[in-house]
Structure 1
Amino acid sequence: MPSDCISYQSSGYFTPLINDYLNQHDTLKPLYHRFPTLQNFKLQLEEKQQNYTPEFRSILADTLENQYSSIETSALTQKNISRLRKNNTFTVTTGHQLNLFTGPLYFLYKIVSAINLAKQLKEEYPDYHFVPVYWMATEDHDFEEINYFNFQNKKIKWPRESAGPVGRLNIDGLDAVLGAFSKELGMGNNAKWLKDLFEASYLKHTNLADATRYLANEIFGEQGLVIIDADTADLKRLFIPYVKEELLHQTSQQKVAETTELLKNYNIQVNPREINLFYIEDTLRERIILQDGIYTVNNTDRTFTEAELLAELNNHPEKFSPNVIMRPLYQEVILPNLCYIGGGGELAYWLELKSFFEASNVTFPILLLRNSVLLATQKQAEKLDKLNLTWADVFTKQQLLLNKKVQEFSAFQLDFSEQKEVLQQQFATLADIATKTDASFTGAVQAQQAKQLKGLQNLEKKLLRAEKRSHADQLERITLIQNELFPNRSLQERTVNFAEFYLEHDGKLLDKLFKELKPLEQEFNVVVL
């Protein structure tokens, strides 16, 4: 069976910014607090311990106990919630949208990363407790990003309209989605388990937040995962001072703008607004805008004076929702958190925020790139063996891979480098002669050289095409297996839903992930089921 160690940096699927972060490039060091190493977690927890209060711990634990009151909870999750009241307990957090039926595979990888990191930290620092947390993005409004999942090359979609925070959305229409999903699943115990899970999650709860909590708890509850919905008045009340600062002084825009200047050589992930807050109700999520001393809620007729808006904040903090710039600060204020685990895009915008955290006097968390995984079946691994392909090969862009394999298959050299070098030497001699005669001859030599080199390049391309035709069967098999592993020539984890693999492998999928994913190692995991 082919086997390779694929680093994130060599996989070809991460941006220069993330590669430079993983390589601890000097230019990025001012943008993060501590790099994710076991040793640095001790310093991080000592700092966080100093600035996270018992009062916040109590409110957090009370809120979580209330949110879990209506679902069956594992003993370990209950213990983890209780432990959050203690000064020696910390969280490692990942966040994700409320994607229908978990959405793409990397939903699982994020949470497994958090759970495995919490276990590793407990082994290293046994006097402390570490709780894996899944932060549900209940206040998002991008319904079109979450209202479907892909199953066996078909899109299972929830066709309805949405306004306001998605977590408050009712589950109308999901019975029809279950019907469509059931037809694709077929028969068998694993198919029945998936149907029952969908039904229990979505048809027996009143809103998308409760449904997603139930779903994640069913999959990960035995591992002690704690799931939080921060769209509550009690937690928002803890954040009032920071919301007030944003409304009155717009600190985030200034600080993030300073940081983005340091990132000018990279693609900036997000740009701050003047006020990075939304005003929300069940069917409303609109930006708060300050103009001529009056605060307005965008696309509505609601207006507030400064005094009126501050009174609204004190009376109804739940109506103030942080956007992508403010949400990380909210998370770190209300949780005793050490580390945020996210994908490359998420870490990119976190790297814009350190100076804002410093201005807010909130500890900036360790940033950890989540585990990435390529899942393959035993049969696929055997196919790679027969084709003499390594895992590194299948990560190569398809055209480059096919060209490389044609070179290997051919009985002769397809590269005309030697011929080009001989040609250039000949023309160098002619050029030397040309310097001793009329200038028009120099031009003729240069034109002929360009013509001859172009002719060799064209012959080279024609020879490659001819060899591809000669080895068409092998190249087709290579193309097919790569397309299976990289659907639409993209990462499998960004498109495929876990149900495809559960249908064939049931609990073995999670068992393998928990066994093989090592969050602090910078490796793209290849997991053979």
Structure 2
Amino acid sequence: MRTETYSMPGAQPLTEAYIHRTDSRIDSLYGYYAGAEKDWERRLERLDRSGAVRASAAEAADVLRIYNEKAGASPETFSNISAIAEGAPVVVGGQQAGLWTGPLLVIHKAVSIIGAANSAAEQLGRPVVPVFWVAGEDHDWDEANHAYVVTAEQELRKLAAARPEGSRTSVSRTAIATGTWEQLLSELEQALPHSEFKPALLEELSGMAQKANSLSDMFAMILSRLFGEQGLVLIDADDENVRRLEAPMFRSMIERNDELERAYTSSAEEIKRLGYTLQADVTPGSANLFLFRTENGNERTLLHKRNGMYQDRKGQFELSAGQLLQIADEQPLLLSNNVLTRPIMQDYLFPVLATVLGPGEIAYWALTGEAFRVMGMEMPIIVPRMSYTLVEGTIAKNMDKYELSFEDVMTRFEERKAGWLKEQDGLSIEQRFDEARASFEELYKPLLTLAASIQPGLSKLGDTNLQKIVEQINYMGSKTVDAFNKQFEAATRQFDRIQLALKPLGKPQERVLNMASYWNRYQTAWVGKLLEAPYSRTGGHQIVYL
């Protein structure tokens, strides 16, 4: 198996400072550091002492068994759930449910969770369970409803599910009709190139679709299929049984809401004071909790505090603190976390040894440290997600053919492509047209001076005339270059295929392409390659050759 390490540029300065330890001032924002072995031991000791502040491990395991059974869980997963029931710590990470799992970074996060759990178990000599948190309570349909695949014509195609009519509720509560699944599968079948694994892939997805009521259901079943042997445990944040377990923490969040708000505000001010940009909104008066409004078709509404009451943004409805506490006790299914309270809820449900986060998540988790302390808790170890680029054999072969490095593709692809085409130009077309244009201007400008000396008004006309003739020379030169380059259409297609495979839409592969393209061609062997690739607790990027 061939892999290479690549230093992918970071877009989040706060995250980069955490990963590379370049700014000791931010240590207090996070507490632990994933790269320090002793911190894993310290965190485990803390978990062993703090079991009383969390939900019952046995009850959590019961909920997990029910959910994972519906997702088609493996014996390894059920064994890990039993370990949770006995108090095993977990490594957790999550993502919003996307069509056919969404972009590849979702798969990378699951691989990273498994890698971190295995690494921790080896160091600590105790079972550590990998848990994937399906963020099914999120309601941003446009983020979840699509997948990009590469077609047989080597084109990028976006497959998307239209949002069913009705209010903006969570993805897990948005029902997908049988006819919609059939249409999506038909579109996927048409888009994917023919392969020996395609019929089996479509058959598996079709079988899942018959049981899936939502994108979240399908998402969970696919992850269970891909990572069952690794014992990955799944949880949907919007599962009604999970909500019942969360009720006591919702009550605490409501009772201490003003303290939490001050904690988030304090952390935000500290981050800004240190010179970093906030990656999540800290809005004055926000309760950082959502309410599903049954009178509005379970629309998910962010709660704001005004005059001692909880309201929607426009103030069209309101609840007292007492009414909201009653909902927490009796109808917790109506409540939902936002990005700032979700970390606390996650730590309440599980003994979280570490959480695997992407670059943006690491940056906004810095806002939560003080809030953890308000609740008598402690932020877990932050583990940067690994990222990968899958390079197929034909892509690698063409990169070698045109002497393109991975760095070339990621940072200067168009320049290298244009340079290669220019190198093929033995006729020096561009140079000869440049020389002809310069010669023409040299011969013609004295004539313009002569014309202007006879009649000054001819000067402007002469300049316009010169410009038009130069434009025609340039136009002819451009058409000649295009005609020459057509001789290399096959090479151009190979260049474009490289870019499509590794940097589609000008973005890293993991942020665009869907896993179906690789499952179609390699069955699930590509997942095994990712699991076998070098793993680091401090993240990094691996180029994996298939």
TM-score computed with the length of structure 2 as normaliser: 0.78
> Is the 8 Å Cα contact of residues 138 and 165 (structure 1) preserved in structure 2?
yes
Aligned match for 2:247, one of 199, 217, 237: 237
Compared with structure 1, are the counterparts of its residues 4 and 402 closer, same or farther at alpha carbon in structure 2 (3 Å cutoff)? Answer: farther
- Note if 1:208 corresponds to 2:215: yes
Is the aligned partner of 1:279 residue 2:286? no
Equivalent position amino acid for 1:31 in 2: L
Residues 2 and 380 of structure 1: is their aligned pair in 2 closer, same or farther, counting only changes over 3 Å?
Answer: farther
The two structures, once aligned, show a CA RMSD in angstroms of 3.1
Match of 2:66 in 1: 66
Residue among 254, 265, 271 paired with 1:254: 265
- 1:314 paired residue number: 329
- Structure-2 residue corresponding to 1:419: none
Amino acid in the other structure paired with 2:170: P
Q: Which residue of 1 aligns with 2:143?
A: 145
3-state DSSP of counterpart to 2:172: helix
- Answer whether contact 1:171 1:202 (CA < 8 A) is retained: no
Change (3 A) 1:58 1:299: farther
Deviation at 1:183, TM superposition (A): 2.1
Displacement of 1:363 after TM fit? 1.6
Q: Which residue of 2 aligns with 1:267?
A: 277
Shift of the 99–2 alpha-carbon distance from structure 1 to 2, 3 Å rule, reads closer
Amino acid at match of 1:218: R
Offset of 1:169 from its aligned partner? 1.3
Report the alpha carbon displacement of residue 486 of structure 1 after superposing the two structures with TM: 0.8
338-347 or 99-108, which deviates more: 338-347
Decide which of 383, 386, 402 is 1:387's aligned counterpart.
402
1:174 maps to what in 2?
181
TM-score normalised according to structure 1 size = 0.81
Corresponding position: 1:121 with 2:120 = yes
C-alpha contact (below 8 Å) 1:92/1:340 kept by paired residues: yes
Partner of 1:484: 501
Does the CA-based 8 Å contact 1:112-1:517 persist in structure 2? no
Partner of 1:312: helix, strand, or coil? helix
TM-fit CA distance, 1:394: 2.7
Alignment check: 8 A CA contact 2:357 2:383 kept: yes
CA 19–169 in structure 1, closer or farther in 2 if over 3 Å, else same: same
1:157 maps onto 2:160 in alignment: yes
Alignment correspondent of 1:514: 531
Q: 1:300: Cα distance to partner?
A: 7.5
Helix, strand or coil: the match of 2:56?
helix
Change (3 A) 1:71 1:3: closer
Q: Distance in 2 between matches of 1:110 and 1:222?
A: 16
- Aligned AA (1:260): I
Q: Write the distance in 1 (CA, Å) between the matches of 2:543 and 2:244.
A: 43
Runs of at least 5 residues in structure 1 that lack an aligned partner in the other structure: 411-464
User: Is 1:523 the counterpart of 2:521 in the alignment?
Assistant: no
Letter in 1 for 2:265: Q
Name the structure 1 match of 2:510.
Answer: 493
Aligned to 2:97: 98
Render the CA deviation track for 1:71-112: whole Å, top value 9, x for unaligned. Answer: 54311111111111223x111011001101101111111001
Closer/same/farther in 2, CA of residues 150 and 284 from structure 1, 3 Å limit = same
The structure-2 alpha-carbon separation of the partners of 1:401 and 1:92, relative to structure 1 and needing over 3 Å to count, comes to: farther
Shift of 1:185: 3.2
Aligned length: 469
Partner of residue 41, structure 1? 40
CA distance in 2, matches of 1:400, 1:5: 23
Could you tell me how far apart the structure 1 residues matched to 2:267 and 2:252 are? 15
Is the alpha carbon distance of 1:160 and 1:368 closer, same or farther for their aligned partners in structure 2, counting shifts above 3 Å? same
Distance 1:406 1:347, change over 3 A: farther
Stretches of structure 2 that go unaligned for 5 or more consecutive residues are 151-155, 426-476
Residues 362-441 of structure 1 aligned to structure 2 (within 5 Å): 362-398=377-413
Aligned amino acid, residue 16 of structure 2: N
Q: Match for 1:329: what amino acid?
A: I
Q: Is the 8 A contact 2:4 2:544 kept in 1?
A: no
One-letter identity of the residue aligned with 1:118: A
| CA distance 1:292–1:2, change in 2 (3 Å) | closer
Which residues in structure 2 correspond to 1:66-85 (within 5 Å)? Answer: 66-85=66-85
Confirm whether residue 502 of structure 1 aligns to residue 519 of structure 2. Answer: yes
Amino acid at match of 1:147: N
2-structure distance, mates of 1:256, 1:333:
21
Per-residue CA deviation, residues 210-264 of structure 1 (Å, 9 max, x unaligned), is 332222212211210000123333222131343223545434443333333245x
Residues 271, 278 of structure 2: 8 Å contact kept: yes
Give the C-alpha shift of residue 285 in structure 1: 0.4
Q: Structure 1 residue 269: deviation in Å?
A: 0.7
What is the CA–CA distance in structure 1 between the aligned matches of 2:6 and 2:10, rounded to whole Å?
Answer: 11
